[in-house]
Amino acid sequence: MTYDVLSLARGLIRCPSVTPEDAGAQVFLAEMLTALGFSCYSLPFEDVPNLFARYGSGGKHLCFAGHTDVVPTGPERKWTHPPFGANIHDGILYGRGAADMKGAVAAFAAAAAAFIERKKQFGGSISLLITGDEEGPAVNGTVRVLEWMKENGHVPDVALVGEPTNPDYLGQEIKIGRRGSLCGTLRVAGKQGHVAYQHLAHNPLPPLIKMLDALNDYVFDKGSAYFPQTNLEITTIDVGNPAGNVIPAEGSASFNIRFNDRWTSETLSQKIIEILDKTKHPYELDLSCGAESFITRPGDWSSLVQRAVQDITGKKPEYTTNGGTSDARFIVNFCPVVEFGALNHTIHQIDEHVAIKDLEDLTRIYERLLMLYF
């Protein structure tokens, strides 16, 4: 039994599964996988739908990980085509999730179907770990499913995450890791007063600006073997002062640091405090880690994925670690994991789309990977 990747992708996109709603997307996928001979397990945790499906019960185990939840559409009136219409125009499939990442989920499902049709007895196992929580808090999704997989004997030998990894063309990049993410909120207290009587007040903004300058100017590192340099971005400065003749009582600012494998969230937090303490101004600081940096160092698995991509596209993809984080950060604790999927230049945007040819080539890449691995 074979499946057309375009039909699968359109079926998934037509399910308005804005996180954490599923809107039938995982049911649609499970029905198709069950017909192929997969054992499917619905794994809801709290309000998050998750799906684990496995074909085969022994031998080498390759897991494809992805998500069916999508971000909100934004103003639907600004879309050229309805965001959940899965419309096709000039060889392009439009819709929320087309690139991130229902297209890749459809491509792997179609590839698995084609592979099983060609090679029913391959002595191994293929599975899909599909969550509805990747675009959300990522608390009741992949993390919880991995725990269930471990408890029930489903830990894979290798994993592939179908996140959109290519900036310009299919076959450009394979993600072998991702930077960590540390968020901070800095507050400086002052004393409110009239600007004409500054001696009776205390303006918190000059020391706040001095602290932000210290953070912004600090060079944390110059990168590492597989990572770009650690980068801090100030994301907001807030005073809450509507009056032009009032010295505010408090100023606050938020920042985010994307950090490489030279740091952990703990060592980076210590460095932030050290930098701020040198300014010799009182402050309050809240830090929270969204993700640690991680890497699957180049080896047999990444080389195999690279070969599959090159066999189909004729291009040798580069190993990179840039971009945002992904659920691969959880999977790396269980097995080697890399990411390869569609183009990412329209993800989360109005008129998100994917070229149909790219979907078809991505399916061929995934099928080639299955052939090489097994």
Residue positions annotated with a catalytic role: 69, 134
Pairing of strands 318-320, 173-175: parallel
Query: For residue 142, what are the contacts with CB-CB under 8 A and spacing of at least 6?
Result: 50, 65, 129, 131, 133, 134, 327, 330, 331
Element housing 54 (H / E): strand 50-55
- d(CA 313, CA 368) in angstroms, rounded, equals 11
- d(CA 88, CA 66) in angstroms, rounded, equals 23
What is the DSSP-derived secondary structure letter of residue 221? -
| 47 close to 141: Cβ distance less than 8 angstroms | no
Exposed, middle or buried: residue 116 (CB in 10 Å: 0-12, 13-18, 19+)?
buried
- d(CA 72, CA 76) in angstroms, rounded, equals 10
Name the token pair of 311.
């066999």
- d(CA 340, CA 343) in angstroms, rounded, equals 10
| 5 close to 112: Cβ distance less than 8 angstroms | no
What is the DSSP-derived secondary structure letter of residue 189? E
Please spell the DSSP secondary structure of 86-155, one letter per residue.
--EETTEEESTTTTTTHHHHHHHHHHHHHHHHH-S--SEEEEEEEES-TTTTSSSSHHHHHHHHHHTT--
